Homo-oligomer: A and B are copies of this chain.
Amino acid sequence: MHITLKQINNFIVLSETLHLTEASQKLYLTPSALHKQIKNLEEQLGNKLFKTKGKRIELTGFGESMLPQSRNMILEYDKFIRKAQISLTHDTPISINVDFAHQVSVMNKVKNFKEMHPNILIDVNVSLWEEQQSYLSNSKGTLYLSGEPLKVNKNVKNKILKNQRLSLLLEKVTLYLIKVFYYLKI
């Protein structure tokens, strides 16, 4: 069980781009890190997934054959996550941070939502995105989610600062946001 979902996902992304640098960007990794993960996966599978012709990367026959099953793994994972989202119990208090740009649209939807579901607690804290960034620039920066501090490690912090998309990167935040958006039907 040493093979990880992350590695399988890496494999799929690289197989789609056949371009290490490009794939590594999509995965928010350095080419070096991605390269090592692929190597590691190949080692555990006992066969090479890719071969390199000059600068070009190609799938091996083995890699080709592993692709469908790999996609199934990720699809199954998606279902798993979706299940977790839908299983949200209605008494879980939810609080979300929204940056300024999305304040209006979210607040309106939350308002409607609260009328429909008065027993689901939602707090919406609005803060400038720059403010959230400055939290993260501080090495001890924390975000708060449902009242609890959300530890942010350096990697995640960098990813956020680079991409300015919180929901794409912090899975825990994503989960909560999606929960809300699921109800909001955003």
Interchain CA distance A70-B77 in the complex, whole Å: 9
Question: In the complex, what distance in Å separates the CA atom of A77 from the CA atom of B61?
Answer: 20
| B87→A66 contact, CB < 8 A | yes
Q: A64–B113 Cα gap in the complex (Å)?
A: 28
- Which residue on B lies nearest to A84, using beta carbons? B45
Q: Which residues of chain B come closer than 8 Å to A6, judged between CB atoms?
A: 1
Give chain A's interface residues, CB within 8 Å of chain B. 1-6, 8-9, 43-47, 61-62, 65-66, 69-70, 72-73, 76-77, 79-81, 83-84, 87-89, 92, 171-172, 175-176, 179
Cβ-defined partner of A47 (8 Å) among B3, B62, B76, B84: B84
Main secondary structure on A side of the interface with B = helix
> What is the bound-complex CA distance between A171 and B3, given in angstroms?
9
B1→A44 contact, CB < 8 A: no
| B84 lies within 8 A of A80 (CB) | no
Min Cβ gap A66→B in Å is 6
> Which residue on B lies nearest to A175, using beta carbons?
B46
Contact (Cβ within 8 A) A46 B1 = no
A5 to B66, alpha carbons, bound, how many Å? 18
B66 touches A77 (CB 8 A): no
The docked-state distance in angstroms from the alpha carbon of A175 to that of B84 is 32
Within the complex, what minimum Cβ distance (angstroms) separates A36 from chain B? Answer: 15
Which one of B1, B62, B81, B88 lies within 8 Å of A171 (CB-CB)?
A: B1
Pairwise interchain contact A89-B76, C-beta atoms closer than 8 A: no
Q: Is the CB of B87 within 8 A of A76?
A: no
* A74 CB → nearest B CB, Å: 9
Assembled-state Cα–Cα distance A73/B69 (Å): 12
Known: A3-B81, A44-B172. 19 other contacts (CB 8 A): A1-B9, A3-B77, A3-B80, A8-B80, A43-B172, A44-B175, A46-B175, A46-B176, A47-B89, A62-B89, A65-B87, A66-B87, A69-B80, A72-B76, A72-B79, A72-B80, A73-B73, A73-B76, A76-B76
